[in-house]
Structure 1
Amino acid sequence: MSFATLSPARAQEGQRERRAITPAPTPVAPVGSTVPAPVIPVAPSSSTLAVKPVAPTTIEELRARIQEVLRQPQLAPAQVAVKVVSLDTGRTLYEENAGKLLQPASNMKLYTVAAALDRLSPNYRFTTSAYAPVRPDASGTMRGDLTVYGRGDPSFATRFNDGDYNRALDDFAAQIAAAGVRRVEGDLVGDESYFTGAPFAPGWEADDLQWYYGAEISALSINDNALDLFVRPGVRVGEPCTVTTGPATPLVTIINRTLTQARGTRRELKVYRPLGENTIEVSGFLAQDDPGYTASVAISRPAMLFVSLLRSALERRGIVITGRTRTVDGRARGGMPLTVSSLVEIAQRQSPPLSIIAGEILKPSQNLYTELVLRTLGRTLGTDLKQTSGEAGIKVVGAFLQEAGVGSDKLIMNDGSGLSRGDFVTVDGTLQLLVFMDRHRYSSVFRDALPIAGVDGTLRNRMKGTPAAGNVRAKTGTLNTVATLSGYATSAAGERLVFSVFLNNHPIDTEIRRSSIDAIAVLIASFAGRS
């Protein structure tokens, strides 16, 4: 694995967002109202290509304007697929290569989240339990191992706890203390055997695995299975920079090979974590006036980090553990989960409902949470014991898609998040999914979980000052040579539209791809005609 430069944005779609975001309402013009052709404001940033100032007023003009964007010389190397359909009439307004299998990037999350809402319901909660062979005696002594059994809860993370690294674990430790536990004569065990299979999905590239968006998948996850890395310059030239992590933990070794340079010097940093190790090497230079560098670096064996931090939380409450801190995975149990029928549940913590977690998946495009949801689908609804949790989850998603009218010829699925380079879908299949979810009993939950142009999530800084802002709700997707956007818009005439745009194999920088897609979304939102 090679050194990674200071910009871990290669397959990343946005900065980490730590709190759930409240979606803004979508403005909708009254059906049947007469709306004059509006002037399209040009976005103040470069995230949207400049478009002609007058909105398209006929379907023919809309098609011509979309083609004008797609036929730019900068997009000549790209594979393009686009489809736009009216939710009100069912008419197709634009279609190009709609049946072509292309990489969806994070548009794959639409499929996983939709299946989870349908199969598990928005009220589903992930449960983490602490088990013991017996209850503590009158003195508070519990004889035997204290086992923490994870079931894929993503919410032991700062984004669910107002940026606090310790709150969730402190609450869990408080429950254990409230059960009367004062001393554990045994080990503290982190049991992640609820899921089976490798910690990574097929098709994930080695360069992704260093960063939080390629973090290991574990039934006992903590802090997005990553450490936040903070690098700050020293006071004097020649001094080492300060390197700290959040949360602080002795489980990870930091090798600091940095130096502080004179003011105005260009930043040069490298961050490297060998695959499978918990050693992070930081090398390079920061100027004295550099505001500092922050990144989120994935860790190995996150279940061990979970129980290590939990042990500290228990010790802060005066609980003594005489044994070791260790973990157990599915392989150690022969592929079978923990048998809890003979154990006593000492404490239990439940996650926020899936409706909230769906927003924390789709808005910031969180890969780990999506994979936890996929494996939960497989673990709770899968029927083939020979399959891993991920494989079973993909089968559950496939069954849901058949019901949604998305045939198996429209999808090749290797993971839940779209980080796999082996994922392929069609824009036609994506449109069918979005149309199905528009009519679904949980349609409002699904829509509310999507990023809103110019407002939040990965669309927060895109399409501002255009008819798409506050209107378009859509899922972004970004990989090395891939950009995608699929979702909903209300036209200037008040017609409800659904669209999907895929650009693949485009070697030029990401900004060209994004601005082209955004220009199409703005045209759709500004369309003043009717189908």
Structure 2
Amino acid sequence: MKIFKLITLLCILLVFGSAAAQNLQDRIQQILSSTRTNTDEYGIAIFSTNQNKFLFENNSEATLLPASTTKLYTTATAILFLGDEYTVNTEILTDDVNLTDNSIDGNIFLKGFGDPTFTIPNLQKMVSEIMAQGIKRISGNIIVDDSFFDEILFREEWIEDENRNVPLPAICATTIDKNSITLSLRGNSRTNRKPTVSIFPNLDYFTVVNSAKTTGRRTRIGTVVQQMQSGEKITVTGTIPRNRSSSIKVHIKNPPLFIGNLLKNLLIQGGIEFTGKILTRTSPEVLNLLVSNETPLISLISEINKRSDNFIAEHLFKIIGANYSEGSGGAFDATQAIFTFLKSTNLFEEEMSILDGSGISRNNQFSMKALVRLLTHMYFTKDDFEQFFNSLSIAGVDGTMGSRLVGTSAANNCRAKTGTLRGVTATAGYVTSKDNDLMIFAMNFNSFKRSASYYRDIMDNIISLLSETEISQRN
């Protein structure tokens, strides 16, 4: 009798569970039908971790342009391939073996390993630590080693039609202040006069040619940066209104040479005698470490997934490639590393294309089912899931999801990565249902006829519905 009752109860639960799942599918389909999405290219996939199956699929296997949801492949691969204790270092080393005489009788080497968050204050701190070691003089040269990455610094050099996309500064192993400087202008009190122009940091490495004018019209500033033999020439053009201030970021052409000159200035300002040259080349394998700046991998992943930072994502992409190739890492190596990981976990699909780490490229493509399978794999990789999950933007709280789903049961519940390009909007991540089922979802709309916000509202309505769902069936 007890066995009969148990079987009966299980049958009832299965019926109710199936009915609830069907009801969820109907309600999602109703949202899609009422918003006239039938003329758009889109894909949706939703997976239940309690039931270990897909609850909803619509065009889930269609390959779409994914925008910044591509970053989920970059960050997931980084965690699983590099490990959560991996650090991205910037080091200053020397070939002098005797550091007890307050003098470096040889060269110092600045070697970068691709830290995209390295800043001028970080470099200043490293110089202070060298000063604290009692160093008063450096007899040799400053040699900047950028060899951890390949020599292709700009995305347009490796991605076709890249000029259509968002421009990024150079992607290189020795990076500082996002490889940009600040150019500030102040309009003259009289029209047709040149504005005042200043740059930060102000180094003799830069030559500034001021061809801008003060006018009564709006600010329109342009710059042309040219690589010279020992520095960079910045030509400033355009207009700025009278007595108006404005500032823009200018991308550096040669970050390794720039950071070498910056290091030289900081050493001299700190009272360390230096009369050598600034060189860029590969450093010897055996050197003595003077100081190191270490950035945890997880902090980079959080910036990428929460704030969708493209610059950091492209550096992480090449870090993956460099570790995979055990040499000068490039975009090709990074793609091979990601595909090798996907093949080893049975997540690879032949139609996939991943050409960059940020998702800016319009040549990336994969399906929403493939993306949900990646997120599901991360969920079942328990040792790494918590840090991956915590790196995602929290709906209604922070990052790119910070203003979405406010006032719904998905707020402070849904963790997701967004993606936006011209004609593309996507959201993928996790949300917990009312009966504590962690739902994994991926939604993407391409080539749409309305505004991006219109389709974000559709996705938010579906996410909110998932958070309110009760299916109450666990296998």
State the TM-score bracket (shorter-chain normalisation).
0.7 to 0.9
SS at 2:76 equivalent: helix
User: Which structure: greater helix fraction?
Assistant: 2
Measure how far apart 1:74 and its partner are.
7.5
Q: Structure 2: how far apart are the matches of 1:274 and 1:208?
A: 19
Q: 1:236 to 1:522 in 2, by over 3 A?
A: farther
1:308-351 Cα deviation digits (max 9, x unpaired): 222222122111221222323xxxxxxxx53322x332322222
SS at 1:471 equivalent: coil
Q: Structure 1: how far apart are the matches of 2:226 and 2:452?
A: 27
Which shifted more, 170-179 or 271-280? 271-280
1:450 matched residue in structure 2? 392
SS at 1:377 equivalent: helix
Identity across matched positions, percent: 26
Counterpart residue identity of residue 63, structure 1: Q
Q: 1:435 to 1:244 in 2, by over 3 A?
A: farther
SS at 1:345 equivalent: strand
2:6 matched residue in structure 1? none
SS at 1:501 equivalent: strand
Q: Structure 1: how far apart are the matches of 2:63 and 2:289?
A: 48
2:8 matched residue in structure 1? none
SS at 1:152 equivalent: coil
1:430 matched residue in structure 2? 371
Counterpart residue identity of residue 412, structure 1: S
2:271 matched residue in structure 1? 318
Q: 1:303 to 1:431 in 2, by over 3 A?
A: same
1:419-457 Cα deviation digits (max 9, x unpaired): 222211111111011011112111010011111112111
SS at 1:411 equivalent: coil
Measure how far apart 1:528 and its partner are.
4.6
For residues 285-304 of structure 1, the aligned pairs below 5 Å read 285-286=240-241, 295-304=248-257
Q: 1:433 to 1:364 in 2, by over 3 A?
A: same
Q: 1:459 to 1:271 in 2, by over 3 A?
A: farther
Q: Structure 2: how far apart are the matches of 1:370 and 1:280?
A: 30
Q: 1:390 to 1:155 in 2, by over 3 A?
A: same
Cα contact 1:405–1:432 (8 A) shared by 2: no
Cα contact 1:136–1:181 (8 A) shared by 2: no
Measure how far apart 1:527 and its partner are.
3.1
Q: Structure 1: how far apart are the matches of 2:198 and 2:33?
A: 48
Counterpart residue identity of residue 350, structure 1: E
1:327 matched residue in structure 2? 280
Asked if 1:154 is matched to 2:111, the reply is: no
1:279 paired residue among 234, 239, 257: 234
Q: Structure 2: how far apart are the matches of 1:515 and 1:245?
A: 42
Cα contact 1:278–1:300 (8 A) shared by 2: no
Measure how far apart 1:124 and its partner are.
0.7
1:389-430 Cα deviation digits (max 9, x unpaired): 332222222222223331232521112221222211111111
Cα contact 2:194–2:210 (8 A) shared by 1: no
Q: Structure 2: how far apart are the matches of 1:469 and 1:287?
A: 46
1:349 matched residue in structure 2? 293
Measure how far apart 1:104 and its partner are.
1.4
SS at 2:393 equivalent: coil
Q: Structure 2: how far apart are the matches of 1:275 and 1:530?
A: 64
1:397 matched residue in structure 2? 338
The TM-score, its normalising length taken from structure 2, stands at 0.83
Cα contact 1:179–1:347 (8 A) shared by 2: no
SS at 1:85 equivalent: strand
Which shifted more, 438-447 or 86-95? 86-95
Cα contact 1:229–1:295 (8 A) shared by 2: yes
Cα contact 1:132–1:344 (8 A) shared by 2: yes
Measure how far apart 1:115 and its partner are.
1.1
Asked if 1:359 is matched to 2:302, the reply is: yes
Cα contact 2:114–2:173 (8 A) shared by 1: yes
Which shifted more, 431-440 or 90-99? 90-99
Asked if 1:215 is matched to 2:159, the reply is: no
RMSD (Å) for aligned C-alpha atoms:
3.1
2:103 matched residue in structure 1? 141
Q: 1 or 2 for the larger relative contact order (CA 8 Å, sep ≥6)?
A: 1
Cα contact 1:269–1:283 (8 A) shared by 2: yes
Cα contact 1:452–1:459 (8 A) shared by 2: yes
Asked if 1:125 is matched to 2:87, the reply is: yes
Q: Structure 1: how far apart are the matches of 2:452 and 2:317?
A: 28
2:354 matched residue in structure 1? 413
Counterpart residue identity of residue 306, structure 1: I
User: Any stretches of 5+ residues in structure 2 without a counterpart?
Assistant: 1-18
User: Any stretches of 5+ residues in structure 1 without a counterpart?
Assistant: 1-56, 158-165, 329-336
Q: Structure 2: how far apart are the matches of 1:220 and 1:138?
A: 29
1:463 matched residue in structure 2? 405
1:115 paired residue among 73, 77, 85: 77
The TM-score, its normalising length taken from structure 1, stands at 0.75
Cα contact 2:35–2:458 (8 A) shared by 1: no
